[in-house]
Amino acid sequence: MSLLFEPLKWKGMELKNRIVMPPMANGKATPEGHVTQEMVNYYRERAQHGIALVIVEHSYVNSRGKAHEGQMGIHNDKTMDGLTTLVKTIKECGSAAVIQITHAGSQIEYTPSSFHPPLSASSVVNPALDAGPMPDCMSLQEIEAVTDDFYAAAVRAKEAGFDGVEIHGAHGYLLNQFYSPLTNLRQDQYGGTRDKRLALALELVSRVRQAVGSDFPILYRLGVEDGMPGGLSLEDGVYAAMRLEKAGVDLLDISGGMLGSRAGRSGPAYFEFASAAVKEMVTAPVLVTGGITDPHEAEKVLENKSADLIGVGRALLQDPLWAMKAQKKLVG
């Protein structure tokens, strides 16, 4: 029996295999952040061919946290009809559905008509961008407002019918900006020591748990290292994973920090080293994505006990039938 096609019982759900479609922005939302029919069709095309779990792309919790044009939002109740349609479609195809909620902070890649300077942990240009505007340092009142926005977004996710919610703490977005010493120069309760830089992430996990209740899964996409001098190290990432699990995270989704997958990463399963390090220190399931394109590569990661779930990104974009073909290769 292939490990990739073993079911996984997790937090009241049973995933039919270990294949996950990770969150990947597709730019198909309306200017207001609403779901479009094109987006529904895109997810249907992939969910109906044997994927166990679909994590819907990063969705902004307020308009100032929008990263780019075409990004989906979960920032107000007007998004609910489209979200409900989308999640219903995914689940009718036989996949579980989670949605990733996020705030871009200083990592914005467009200029909206009603432009305000972006917000971040400190007034530091985001090193993940080739060039970008100088962000405003968030006040304590603005931090509190963002936690309220994540709370409201999590409530919408549950009410729309999603099976769980994922908090985005990787790829140079706001929570990564608070944890990274490259972008957090604060001297208050949210800056300075590693614990203080991690405080906002832990508070958000607690706030989202209040929103969704004890039985609803919370995932966290963790940037385990920044890939830049002076940034987060693998040790910092493993430490954060342990603290996040203790705070109530039910699954760790392992990825890169400030540079995402651009920090010289190549070859198959290029974040396996990080997921293996995290998995040694937590009991929650671990998901790893990055450079996994061949079913045998995925199988090897599971055999190595480096992760419990496998995210298949670009390969699934190119071939929606990837999971079915993988099953034929590994199971027959």
Q: Which amino acid is at 31?
A: P
CA distance 314 to 180: 27
The upper half-sphere exposure of residue 154, i.e. CA atoms within 13 Å in the direction of its Cβ, equals 26
Give the strand pairing for 72-73 and 13-15: unpaired
* Tokens read off for 214: 């004890």
* Tokens read off for 131: 């060039």
The three-class DSSP label of residue 52 is: coil
Tell me how far apart the terminal alpha carbons of the chain are, to the nearest angstrom. Answer: 10
Contact 89, 43 (CB under 8 A): yes
The string over 166-196, giving b where at least 16 C-beta atoms fall within 10 Å of a residue's C-beta and e elsewhere, is bbbbbbbbbbbbbbbbbbbebeeebbeeeeb
Q: Is 173 a catalytic residue?
A: yes
Integer Rg of the chain from CA: 18
The dihedral region occupied by 297, where left means phi > 0, alpha psi between -120 and 50, and beta the remainder, is alpha
- Active-site entry in 43, 173, 190, 270: 173
Strands (E), 144-228: 164-169, 218-223
CA-nearest of 100, 210, 207, 77 to 163 is 100
Q: What are phi and psi of 100, to 5 degrees?
A: -95, 130
Q: Which residues have a Cβ under 8 Å from the Cβ of 106 and sit 6 or more positions away?
A: 118, 119, 120, 124, 125, 126, 129, 132, 133, 135, 174, 177, 183
User: In 10 A of CB 85, how many CB atoms?
Assistant: 16
As annotated, the active-site residues are 173
